[in-house]
Protein backbone atom coordinates (compact mmCIF):
# COMPACT_ATOMS: atom_id res chain seq x y z
CA UNK A 1 0.00 0.00 0.00
CA UNK A 2 1.31 3.37 -0.91
CA UNK A 3 2.15 5.62 2.04
CA UNK A 4 0.38 8.92 2.47
CA UNK A 5 2.17 11.83 0.94
CA UNK A 6 4.21 13.88 3.41
CA UNK A 7 3.24 17.51 3.60
CA UNK A 8 6.11 19.89 4.14
CA UNK A 9 4.80 23.33 5.11
CA UNK A 10 8.17 24.82 4.48
CA UNK A 11 9.66 27.62 6.50
CA UNK A 12 7.19 29.80 8.44
CA UNK A 13 7.46 33.44 7.66
CA UNK A 14 6.57 35.92 10.39
CA UNK A 15 5.68 39.47 9.55
CA UNK A 16 6.84 41.45 12.54
CA UNK A 17 4.39 44.12 11.60
CA UNK A 18 1.54 41.80 12.70
CA UNK A 19 2.75 41.00 16.22
CA UNK A 20 -0.04 40.31 18.74
CA UNK A 21 -0.99 43.47 20.54
CA UNK A 22 -2.09 43.93 24.15
CA UNK A 23 -5.85 44.36 24.49
CA UNK A 24 -6.95 47.91 24.09
CA UNK A 25 -8.04 49.06 27.56
CA UNK A 26 -9.72 52.22 26.40
CA UNK A 27 -13.27 50.68 26.46
CA UNK A 28 -12.79 50.10 30.24
CA UNK A 29 -12.16 53.76 30.90
CA UNK A 30 -15.87 54.80 30.88
CA UNK A 31 -16.67 52.02 33.37
CA UNK A 32 -13.95 53.20 35.72
CA UNK A 33 -15.20 56.77 35.46
CA UNK A 34 -18.75 55.60 36.20
CA UNK A 35 -17.65 53.69 39.29
CA UNK A 36 -15.70 56.69 40.54
CA UNK A 37 -18.73 58.92 40.00
CA UNK A 38 -21.01 56.46 41.84
CA UNK A 39 -18.62 56.28 44.79
CA UNK A 40 -18.60 60.07 44.91
CA UNK A 41 -22.39 60.22 44.85
CA UNK A 42 -22.57 57.64 47.66
CA UNK A 43 -20.18 59.71 49.79
CA UNK A 44 -22.23 62.84 49.11
CA UNK A 45 -25.45 61.04 50.09
CA UNK A 46 -23.91 59.76 53.33
CA UNK A 47 -22.78 63.29 54.11
CA UNK A 48 -26.32 64.54 53.53
CA UNK A 49 -27.69 61.87 55.87
CA UNK A 50 -25.26 62.92 58.58
CA UNK A 51 -25.82 66.65 58.06
CA UNK A 52 -29.62 66.54 57.66
CA UNK A 53 -31.14 63.69 59.70
CA UNK A 54 -34.89 63.27 59.90
CA UNK A 55 -36.56 64.98 62.85
CA UNK A 56 -38.28 62.73 65.39
CA UNK A 57 -39.88 64.12 68.53
CA UNK A 58 -39.71 61.81 71.54
CA UNK A 59 -41.58 62.18 74.81
CA UNK A 60 -41.35 60.07 77.94
CA UNK A 61 -43.79 59.63 80.84
CA UNK A 62 -43.06 57.89 84.14
CA UNK A 63 -46.03 56.52 86.11
CA UNK A 64 -45.41 55.50 89.74
CA UNK A 65 -47.97 52.87 90.76
CA UNK A 66 -47.53 53.78 94.42
CA UNK A 67 -48.65 57.33 93.78
CA UNK A 68 -51.32 56.46 91.25
CA UNK A 69 -53.36 53.27 91.22
CA UNK A 70 -51.39 50.91 88.98
CA UNK A 71 -54.22 48.90 87.42
CA UNK A 72 -56.26 52.05 86.77
CA UNK A 73 -53.27 53.87 85.23
CA UNK A 74 -52.52 50.94 82.95
CA UNK A 75 -56.15 50.65 81.93
CA UNK A 76 -56.32 54.36 81.17
CA UNK A 77 -53.25 54.25 78.92
CA UNK A 78 -54.43 51.02 77.31
CA UNK A 79 -57.79 52.54 76.39
CA UNK A 80 -56.21 55.70 75.03
CA UNK A 81 -53.74 53.76 72.87
CA UNK A 82 -56.33 51.30 71.57
CA UNK A 83 -59.12 53.74 70.77
CA UNK A 84 -60.58 53.06 67.36
CA UNK A 85 -60.78 56.71 66.30
CA UNK A 86 -56.97 56.74 66.02
CA UNK A 87 -57.00 53.92 63.43
CA UNK A 88 -54.46 52.05 65.56
CA UNK A 89 -51.91 49.49 64.42
CA UNK A 90 -50.65 47.22 67.21
CA UNK A 91 -47.17 45.68 67.32
CA UNK A 92 -44.47 44.54 69.71
CA UNK A 93 -40.74 43.71 69.73
CA UNK A 94 -41.08 40.99 67.06
CA UNK A 95 -43.45 39.66 64.43
CA UNK A 96 -45.66 41.50 61.95
CA UNK A 97 -47.64 44.63 62.71
CA UNK A 98 -51.19 43.63 63.49
CA UNK A 99 -54.14 45.97 62.96
CA UNK A 100 -56.36 46.20 66.01
CA UNK A 101 -59.96 45.14 65.45
CA UNK A 102 -62.63 47.77 64.91
CA UNK A 103 -64.53 49.12 67.88
CA UNK A 104 -67.16 46.70 69.04
CA UNK A 105 -70.60 48.11 70.00
CA UNK A 106 -71.55 47.70 73.63
CA UNK A 107 -74.93 47.83 75.32
CA UNK A 108 -76.48 51.22 74.72
CA UNK A 109 -74.55 51.68 71.48
CA UNK A 110 -71.30 52.79 73.17
CA UNK A 111 -67.96 51.70 71.68
CA UNK A 112 -65.38 49.62 73.52
CA UNK A 113 -61.69 50.34 72.82
CA UNK A 114 -59.52 47.44 71.70
CA UNK A 115 -57.11 46.08 74.31
CA UNK A 116 -53.36 46.64 73.87
CA UNK A 117 -52.28 44.46 76.81
CA UNK A 118 -53.52 40.93 77.27
CA UNK A 119 -55.29 40.06 80.53
CA UNK A 120 -52.15 38.26 81.73
CA UNK A 121 -49.93 41.23 80.90
CA UNK A 122 -52.31 43.60 82.65
CA UNK A 123 -52.21 41.50 85.83
CA UNK A 124 -48.41 41.16 85.79
CA UNK A 125 -47.68 44.79 84.96
CA UNK A 126 -50.14 45.97 87.63
CA UNK A 127 -48.01 44.29 90.30
CA UNK A 128 -44.94 46.33 89.28
CA UNK A 129 -44.06 49.61 90.95
CA UNK A 130 -44.12 51.59 87.70
CA UNK A 131 -44.57 51.71 83.95
CA UNK A 132 -43.47 54.12 81.24
CA UNK A 133 -45.07 55.71 78.23
CA UNK A 134 -43.03 56.81 75.19
CA UNK A 135 -44.11 58.71 72.11
CA UNK A 136 -42.21 58.81 68.80
CA UNK A 137 -43.47 61.44 66.37
CA UNK A 138 -41.55 61.78 63.08
CA UNK A 139 -41.92 65.10 61.31
CA UNK A 140 -42.52 63.50 57.92
CA UNK A 141 -45.17 60.91 57.16
CA UNK A 142 -44.07 57.30 57.46
CA UNK A 143 -45.78 54.07 56.45
CA UNK A 144 -46.75 51.49 59.03
CA UNK A 145 -43.77 49.28 58.24
CA UNK A 146 -41.42 52.25 58.59
CA UNK A 147 -42.96 53.25 61.93
CA UNK A 148 -42.57 49.68 63.16
CA UNK A 149 -38.90 49.56 62.08
CA UNK A 150 -38.18 52.93 63.69
CA UNK A 151 -39.82 51.94 66.98
CA UNK A 152 -38.13 48.55 67.16
CA UNK A 153 -34.74 50.15 66.45
CA UNK A 154 -35.33 52.72 69.20
CA UNK A 155 -36.53 50.19 71.78
CA UNK A 156 -33.69 47.84 70.86
CA UNK A 157 -31.23 50.64 71.55
CA UNK A 158 -32.93 51.30 74.89
CA UNK A 159 -32.65 47.61 75.84
CA UNK A 160 -28.95 47.62 74.98
CA UNK A 161 -28.42 50.78 77.02
CA UNK A 162 -30.22 49.23 80.00
CA UNK A 163 -28.40 45.93 79.52
CA UNK A 164 -31.47 43.66 79.62
CA UNK A 165 -34.47 42.69 77.56
CA UNK A 166 -37.54 44.88 77.93
CA UNK A 167 -41.24 44.14 77.59
CA UNK A 168 -43.33 46.63 75.66
CA UNK A 169 -46.32 47.07 73.39
CA UNK A 170 -46.74 49.81 70.80
CA UNK A 171 -49.53 51.32 68.74
CA UNK A 172 -49.21 53.53 65.68
CA UNK A 173 -51.87 56.24 65.52
CA UNK A 174 -53.07 57.72 62.24
CA UNK A 175 -55.53 60.34 63.45
CA UNK A 176 -53.23 63.34 62.89
CA UNK A 177 -51.44 64.85 59.89
CA UNK A 178 -48.35 62.82 60.79
CA UNK A 179 -48.64 59.30 62.14
CA UNK A 180 -46.96 58.70 65.48
CA UNK A 181 -46.28 55.81 67.86
CA UNK A 182 -47.26 55.31 71.50
CA UNK A 183 -45.25 52.75 73.48
CA UNK A 184 -46.30 51.23 76.78
CA UNK A 185 -43.14 50.00 78.52
CA UNK A 186 -43.21 47.66 81.49
CA UNK A 187 -41.35 48.98 84.54
CA UNK A 188 -39.49 45.73 85.14
CA UNK A 189 -36.49 44.17 83.39
CA UNK A 190 -37.20 40.79 81.86
CA UNK A 191 -33.96 38.99 82.74
CA UNK A 192 -33.27 40.03 86.33
CA UNK A 193 -36.81 40.94 87.32
CA UNK A 194 -35.56 44.19 88.81
CA UNK A 195 -37.43 47.48 88.55
CA UNK A 196 -36.58 49.53 85.47
CA UNK A 197 -35.03 52.98 85.82
CA UNK A 198 -34.40 55.28 82.88
CA UNK A 199 -31.88 58.10 82.85
CA UNK A 200 -31.07 60.82 80.32
CA UNK A 201 -28.39 58.71 78.64
CA UNK A 202 -30.86 55.86 78.08
CA UNK A 203 -33.36 58.22 76.50
CA UNK A 204 -30.72 59.96 74.38
CA UNK A 205 -29.62 56.64 72.86
CA UNK A 206 -33.26 55.72 72.25
CA UNK A 207 -33.97 58.92 70.35
CA UNK A 208 -30.70 58.68 68.37
CA UNK A 209 -31.71 55.22 67.17
CA UNK A 210 -35.18 56.46 66.19
CA UNK A 211 -33.67 59.35 64.22
CA UNK A 212 -31.14 57.08 62.50
CA UNK A 213 -33.79 54.57 61.41
CA UNK A 214 -36.19 57.30 60.24
CA UNK A 215 -33.37 58.84 58.19
CA UNK A 216 -32.52 55.45 56.73
CA UNK A 217 -36.17 54.96 55.72
CA UNK A 218 -36.91 58.45 54.39
CA UNK A 219 -33.51 59.81 53.37
CA UNK A 220 -32.04 63.14 54.47
CA UNK A 221 -34.38 65.86 55.68
CA UNK A 222 -34.61 69.19 53.93
CA UNK A 223 -32.29 71.63 55.64
CA UNK A 224 -34.39 74.30 57.35
CA UNK A 225 -32.46 76.55 59.77
CA UNK A 226 -35.66 77.97 61.27
CA UNK A 227 -36.98 74.47 61.89
CA UNK A 228 -33.72 73.43 63.50
CA UNK A 229 -33.90 76.37 65.92
CA UNK A 230 -37.44 75.30 66.76
CA UNK A 231 -36.22 71.74 67.37
CA UNK A 232 -33.56 73.05 69.75
CA UNK A 233 -36.19 74.97 71.72
CA UNK A 234 -38.39 71.86 71.86
CA UNK A 235 -35.48 69.81 73.19
CA UNK A 236 -34.96 72.30 76.00
CA UNK A 237 -38.67 72.20 76.88
CA UNK A 238 -38.90 68.41 76.58
CA UNK A 239 -39.54 66.56 79.88
CA UNK A 240 -36.43 64.96 81.23
CA UNK A 241 -36.11 61.56 82.81
CA UNK A 242 -36.83 61.88 86.47
CA UNK A 243 -33.62 61.88 88.44
CA UNK A 244 -33.66 59.38 91.30
CA UNK A 245 -36.96 57.78 90.30
CA UNK A 246 -38.74 56.51 93.38
CA UNK A 247 -37.50 53.09 94.38
Q: How confident is the model at residue 182 (pLDDT cuts 50, 70, 90)?
A: very high
Cβ contacts of residue 66 below 8 Å, gap of 6+?
Answer: 129, 246
pLDDT of residue 50: 56
Instruction: Specify the 3-state DSSP secondary structure of 170.
Output: strand
pLDDT higher than 50, residue 106: no
Q: How confident is the model at residue 245 (pLDDT cuts 50, 70, 90)?
A: low
Q: Which of 31-45, 49-63, 167-181, 186-200 has the lowest mean pLDDT?
A: 31-45
- What's the mean per-residue pLDDT of the chain? 80
Cα–Cα distance measured from residue 162 to residue 235, given in angstroms and rounded to the nearest whole number = 22
Q: Compute the CA torsion angle 135, 139, 142, 145 (nearest 10 deg).
A: -30
Cα–Cα distance measured from residue 223 to residue 174, given in angstroms and rounded to the nearest whole number = 26
180 φ, ψ (degrees, to nearest 5)? -145, 170
pLDDT of residue 76: 94
Gyration radius of the chain over CA positions: 31
pLDDT higher than 70, residue 108: no
CB 142 within 8 A of CB 85: no
Note the pTM of the prediction, 2 decimals: 0.71
Residue 201 DSSP label: H
What is the mean pLDDT of the segment spanning 43-55?
65
pLDDT higher than 70, residue 27: no
Cα–Cα distance measured from residue 157 to residue 155, given in angstroms and rounded to the nearest whole number = 5
Residue 188 DSSP label: B
What is the mean pLDDT of the segment spanning 175-186?
92
Q: What angle do CA 73, 118, 198 make, to 5 degrees?
A: 50
pLDDT higher than 70, residue 6: no
Amino acid sequence: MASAPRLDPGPIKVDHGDRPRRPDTSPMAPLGETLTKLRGLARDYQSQLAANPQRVMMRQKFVDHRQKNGPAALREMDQYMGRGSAQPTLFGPAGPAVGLPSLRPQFGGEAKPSAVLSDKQHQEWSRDTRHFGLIFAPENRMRDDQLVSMTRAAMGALARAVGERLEWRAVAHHDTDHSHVHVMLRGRKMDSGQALYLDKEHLAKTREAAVAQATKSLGPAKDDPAKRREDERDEKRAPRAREGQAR
